[in-house]
Amino acid sequence: MKRVFIKNNVAVILVFVLLTGGNCFAQSPSTITEDFKPSSVNQSGKEYPQVNSEGRVRTQISAPDAKYVQLDIGGKKYDLVKDEKGVWTGESAPQDEGFHYYQLNIDGASVPDPGSLYFYGASRWGSGIEIPAKDQDFYALKNVPHGQVIELPYFSKTNNSMRRCFIYTPPGYDKDTQKRYPVLYLQHGGGENETGWSAQGKAGLIMDNLIAEGKAKPFIIVMDNGTWSMQGPPRGERPAGGEWPPKGWADGFTKTLINDIIPMVDANYRTLADQKNRAMAGLSMGGMQTRVITLANPDVFSHVGMFSGGSISMEDVEKSPGFKEKNKLLFISYGSRELENRRAGFGGDPKENTNKLKEAGMNTHFYVSPQTAHEWQSWRRSLYQFAPLLFNK
């Protein structure tokens, strides 16, 4: 009896220590695997942030007069600990494989980490980190023939202003100047911009590697800015029964794409400028835009991809004359964690929608990225799965 009592007491003390530790540190230090290495997207020569084999992020910053410093990643804030020289260090819980946005919080100020490269997301230029993924080889920088990513300023009549787009041309584009190529219009998500697919999306490297292995036909990719402001209340204040997003939300970018971007690209690059050689795809908000724009313009686009951005239902197809007959490929994808969290629900179940269209004779594909959420690793993998299916018929 006494022995049991002692045992229980030890257990209680252990639990107490762990809980107390939890208030001071993000993780009890003894549980952290000490194999941290600088992140692959650090600034040149910077030792921090680092990542370990568990996917934890460790960062470090000198802030001798700060009261507190936190690492803000994946929707959680982790306290850093100060040493005698005023240098703060701390770790996050393990993160999913792939790319994540994050920031530091110094005495209430949200700022980028001076150690990382910066990426545009969450409506700001801010820090990014790369958790090495088991399948990272498909977007690795290798000594294979490389395409070029072009930054081009151009004038948009629709917007009566200068705009900027990025254009990927495949390896050899500037050598054989007789050859013409199909085009994929590829859109970013909400709070992101025209830099996303090339920088954190690694679209150019994914294509270079696919083409080098003979897995995808070479094509041009156009990445423009699809940011739109909705005429409606913010997410928390939307009427329960109201239509969301409101009708017409994609009109601005639709006009810019159809009237300005596509003619500009066809006039300046060696494109195959017809429906059967033109695709559109996008992630999240870009997927929703792809849905609206391709359903309404079946004579413009033949191949369609929506990554974590809803799906197309039989009802959608029935309301869009010509879409079923003229579409050559419909690719729908999600991160597995999105499906677990039922985040993929709007517009009906995406897998069920996609299967019904396949049964009705359409060339549809449904892809799930294993163990990833609404993040770039899902979208890199989606492009890697989608690109080989393009312009094959």
Q: How far is CA 64 from the centre of its chain?
A: 36
Those residues with Cβ within 8 angstroms of residue 285's Cβ, 6 or more apart along the chain or in another chain:
187, 188, 189, 190, 226, 228, 309
Our CB check for a second copy shows the closer of 108 and 214 to be: 108
342 binds a second copy (CB under 8 A): no
Pick from 279, 258, 310, 101: nearest CA to 192: 101
Please count the residues of this chain forming the interface with a second copy, following the rule CB under 8 A.
54
CB 390 within 8 A of CB 217: yes
Cross-strand bridge partners of residue 332 = 306, 366
The token pair at 267 is: 């006039």
**Residue in 148, 159, 341, 392 binding a second copy, rule: CB under 8 A:** 148
Query: Closest distance between a second copy and the C-beta of residue 83, in Å?
Result: 13
Query: Closest distance between a second copy and the C-beta of residue 219, in Å?
Result: 16
List the x/- string, 192-221, binding to a second copy by CB under 8 A. Answer: -x----x-----xx--x-------------
Task: Tell me how far CA of residue 193 lies from CA of 199, 226, 284, 347, in angstroms.
Answer: 11, 7, 12, 25
230 binds a second copy (CB under 8 A): no
**Residue in 129, 133, 149, 206 binding a second copy, rule: CB under 8 A:** 149
List the x/- string, 294-333, binding to a second copy by CB under 8 A. Answer: ----------------------------------------
Name the segment binding a second copy (CB under 8 A); options: 25-33, 40-48, 277-285, 365-373: 40-48
Query: Closest distance between a second copy and the C-beta of residue 153, in Å?
Result: 5
150 binds a second copy (CB under 8 A): yes
120: three-class secondary structure by DSSP: strand
Long-range CB pairs of 265-273, under 8 A, 24+ apart, other chains included:
265/167, 265/183, 265/220, 265/222, 268/152, 269/167, 269/169, 269/181, 269/183, 269/220, 270/173, 270/177, 270/179, 270/180, 270/181, 271/180, 271/181, 271/182, 271/183, 271/220, 272/180, 272/181, 272/182, 272/183
CB 318 within 8 A of CB 304: no
137 binds a second copy (CB under 8 A): no
- Give ∠ CA 140-285-297 in degrees, rounded to 5: 105
Name the segment binding a second copy (CB under 8 A); options: 2-10, 241-249, 268-276, 326-334: 268-276
Query: Closest distance between a second copy and the C-beta of residue 77, in Å?
Result: 13
**Residue in 51, 61, 207, 211 binding a second copy, rule: CB under 8 A:** 61
**Residue in 32, 66, 296, 389 binding a second copy, rule: CB under 8 A:** 66
252 binds a second copy (CB under 8 A): no
CB 128 within 8 A of CB 101: yes
**Residue in 1, 143, 234, 247 binding a second copy, rule: CB under 8 A:** 143
274 binds a second copy (CB under 8 A): no
CB 257 within 8 A of CB 265: no
Cα distance between the two ends of the chain: 78
Footprint (CB under 8 A) of a second copy, residues 112-131: 112, 114, 117-118, 123-126
Footprint (CB under 8 A) of a second copy, residues 92-111: 104, 106-111
Strand runs labelled E in 136-234? 148-156, 161-169, 183-187, 220-223
Which letter does DSSP use for residue 271 in this model?
B
63 binds a second copy (CB under 8 A): yes
**Which amino acid is it at 124?**
R
68 binds a second copy (CB under 8 A): yes
**Residue in 1, 24, 34, 177 binding a second copy, rule: CB under 8 A:** 177
Query: Closest distance between a second copy and the C-beta of residue 336, in Å?
Result: 31
146 binds a second copy (CB under 8 A): yes
Separation CA 171–CA 219 (nearest Å): 10
Q: Which stretches of the chain bind a second copy, using CB under 8 A?
A: 43-45, 61-69, 86, 104, 106-112, 114, 117-118, 123-126, 141-143, 146, 148-155, 162, 167, 174-175, 177, 193, 198, 204-205, 208, 227, 268-270
